[in-house]
Structure 1
Amino acid sequence: MRKRLPNTSTLQAFEAAARHQSFTHAAQELSLTQGAICRQIASLESFVGVPLFYRIRRGVRLTDAGARYARVIRRRLDAIERDTLAIMAHQTGGVVELATVPTFATRWLLPRLAQSHDIATSLQVNMVTRTRPFLFDETDFDAAIYSGDPAWPGTQAYFLMHENPLPVCSPTLANGPLDVATISTLPLLQQSTRPTAWRDWFASAGTHVPTAMAGMRLELFSMLSQAATDGLGVALIPPFLIQQELASGNLHILNTHSGPGKRAFHLIVPESKTDLPALVQFREWLIRQASDLAQGGLDIS
């Protein structure tokens, strides 16, 4: 049965008129006449069976139904444009839709993509941040980079690197090296996605775990890094995510004990996509980059 869908030109005319609240400005944007826009809108209103605009003395104004429809149509048109650009990109290479934890993307992955000419010219890696597991069937993602339990249903996990976080802080707060007992007396920045990080770190060091670990609670490594740089406390952060701060002296390592090392970054790929050429190329490149990091000794443990 034929679907009841307005044509794309009509939806584009409506979206532009709704965004500008003006048929005249929509016509100018789309290089049409005002009359053409009026006919498109009238056709759409007839099609959906409800008025989308109030015709007022000095122009037009969206009805409630029109405003709701405009929000939906704008998202749909944006999605069609993204999908069209993605399929066009396949003419020169592949596209990988990647969900990734944010600090890893900005501090480690993006700089390496920029430095890798072969990947930059043959692959387009689109990224959206996700900090928690999700179901691939409910998204358009081809893969995810995640630190935590890699056992996602219906997926294959590829090990990249251990987190191996170290305690770091600003020189304005404390100067290292410090023993574990002294660190326990300092304000300890907490990470909401790793609520037991400090407890695990103290326990693995074989020392008494402080009963009260007072400190600001933050979600992302980038937030912890900034808070630690500003002297708000000590943070547990993987060194490869804060190379700039360590090199500049804005942060320094208080103790080289890196904890139990249970948590690691993995590339998570749905089983149905493990053989996609673009994803295979990206996966092999990513694993090489992670191996180079480990061999270079940047993840201090």
Structure 2
Amino acid sequence: MYSRRNFPSLSGLLALEAVARLGTASAAAAELNLTAGAISRALQEAEATLGQTLLVRDRQRLRLTPAARDYVLQVRRALDGLTGAAHRLRSGAGDVLTLAILPAFGMHWLAPRLPAFRAIHPEIPLNLATRLRPFDLAAEGVDAAIHYGRADWPNAEHLLLMQEEVLPVCAPAFLRAPLARAEDILTRPLLMIESRTGDWGRWLAAQGLPGQRPQAMMFDQFATMQQGAIHGLGIALLPSFLVAEDLAVGRLVPAWGKPVPSNGAYWLVWPKDVAPRPQLLAFRDWIAGLLPAA
């Protein structure tokens, strides 16, 4: 049970979060469309309710007391959760499962499997939104996201979906035959994703050639780099799941060697401090059932 006697007002929580982030009552007042006096009164009421000093003046700025630092983090998460809930309510999406996906993984790994989920759970509407970098799940009203890298998304639970493997590939006409040695890669035009500029260096190190930082043509997404390789622009280091069909039909061929593990993996992530909705639990259990037994 909540007790209003021990719970600051929403105006007090909003004022505290804004001042903690912006540093002054005047800046918080401008953001919240209030007067500086109203901000000060809201902060005083919050301190009186909690029985704690939350802010101290440091020259021209207001600074959180040690006791208030963790509290403000919890307040921010709670406000983010309310924002996300309001967004879903306004959009009529209370029953919708919203997933943020990475374009290449979503198209080539997840999308072919989703009809099976829809067949099992036709009652769950599903929205997919493309995101390339981590973001605040609760603030954007997203139930879960696909994450590439390590298990390091802040304040999130992680489920390992797949360790990525990469393979250097090119158009059949680009090479008459696969290269004789891994180091011969360095004599050919290379293609690279701008968000993963260390991939070629790591691949070369796995072939016994450490310390290499080759130059390459840059692309912002795998899809465009994949097409660049198909049309003969150079050798691309691409995830094996992404090029499986191109290899099978001969649009691409291996330039050298076999797939090797990359520096990251694909994860399903969801907020740690928010109870998962039934729709997310159903999706998480379904996707976990697709994975190889540990």
Question: In structure 1, what is the equivalent of residue 128 of structure 2?
Answer: 127
Q: 1:210 to 1:141 in 2, by over 3 A?
A: same
Question: 2:203 is paired with a residue of what secondary structure?
Answer: helix
For residue 115 of structure 1, report the CA deviation from its aligned partner: 4.6
Percent identity reads 35
Matched residues in 2 for 1:262 and 1:105: separation? 19
Matched residues in 1 for 2:156 and 2:137: separation? 9
Q: 1:253 to 1:124 in 2, by over 3 A?
A: farther
For residue 83 of structure 1, report the CA deviation from its aligned partner: 1.9
Question: In structure 2, what is the equivalent of residue 49 of structure 1?
Answer: none
Which among 193, 196, 207 is matched to residue 194 of structure 1? 196
Question: In structure 2, what is the equivalent of residue 45 of structure 1?
Answer: none
Question: 2:145 is paired with a residue of what secondary structure?
Answer: strand
Question: 2:251 is paired with a residue of what secondary structure?
Answer: coil
Question: In structure 2, what is the equivalent of residue 52 of structure 1?
Answer: none
Question: 1:10-89 maps to which residues of 2 (within 5 A)?
Answer: 83-84=91-92, 86-87=93-94
Matched residues in 2 for 1:166 and 1:274: separation? 39
**Please, what is the CA RMSD of the aligned residues?**
2.5
For residue 122 of structure 1, report the CA deviation from its aligned partner: 3.6
The letter for the 2-side match of 1:281 is A
Please list every run of 5 or more consecutive structure 1 residues that lacks an aligned counterpart in the other structure: 1-78, 295-301
Q: 1:176 to 1:119 in 2, by over 3 A?
A: farther
Tell me, yes or no, if the aligned pair for 1:177 and 1:253 is still in contact at 8 Å. yes
Matched residues in 2 for 1:285 and 1:256: separation? 35
Question: In structure 2, what is the equivalent of residue 107 of structure 1?
Answer: 108
Q: TM-score, normalised by structure 2?
A: 0.64
The letter for the 1-side match of 2:91 is D
Question: 1:246 is paired with a residue of what secondary structure?
Answer: helix
1:185 aligns with 2:187: yes
Q: 1:96 to 1:225 in 2, by over 3 A?
A: same
Q: 1:289 to 1:241 in 2, by over 3 A?
A: farther
Question: In structure 1, what is the equivalent of residue 206 of structure 2?
Answer: 204
Matched residues in 1 for 2:183 and 2:259: separation? 15
Q: 1:120 to 1:183 in 2, by over 3 A?
A: farther
For residue 252 of structure 1, report the CA deviation from its aligned partner: 1.5
Matched residues in 1 for 2:141 and 2:277: separation? 14
Tell me, yes or no, if the aligned pair for 2:118 and 2:124 is still in contact at 8 Å. no
Q: Deviations over 1:50-91 (max 9, x none)?
A: xxxxxxxxxxxxxxxxxxxxxxxxxxxxx789722x23xx3x
Tell me, yes or no, if the aligned pair for 1:160 and 1:291 is still in contact at 8 Å. no
For residue 229 of structure 1, report the CA deviation from its aligned partner: 0.5
Please list every run of 5 or more consecutive structure 2 residues that lacks an aligned counterpart in the other structure: 1-86
For residue 240 of structure 1, report the CA deviation from its aligned partner: 1.0
For residue 114 of structure 1, report the CA deviation from its aligned partner: 2.7
Matched residues in 2 for 1:159 and 1:80: separation? 27
Runs of 4+, deviation exceeding 6 Å: 79-82
Q: 1:238 to 1:81 in 2, by over 3 A?
A: same
Question: 1:243-262 maps to which residues of 2 (within 5 A)?
Answer: 243-262=244-263
Q: 1:206 to 1:260 in 2, by over 3 A?
A: farther
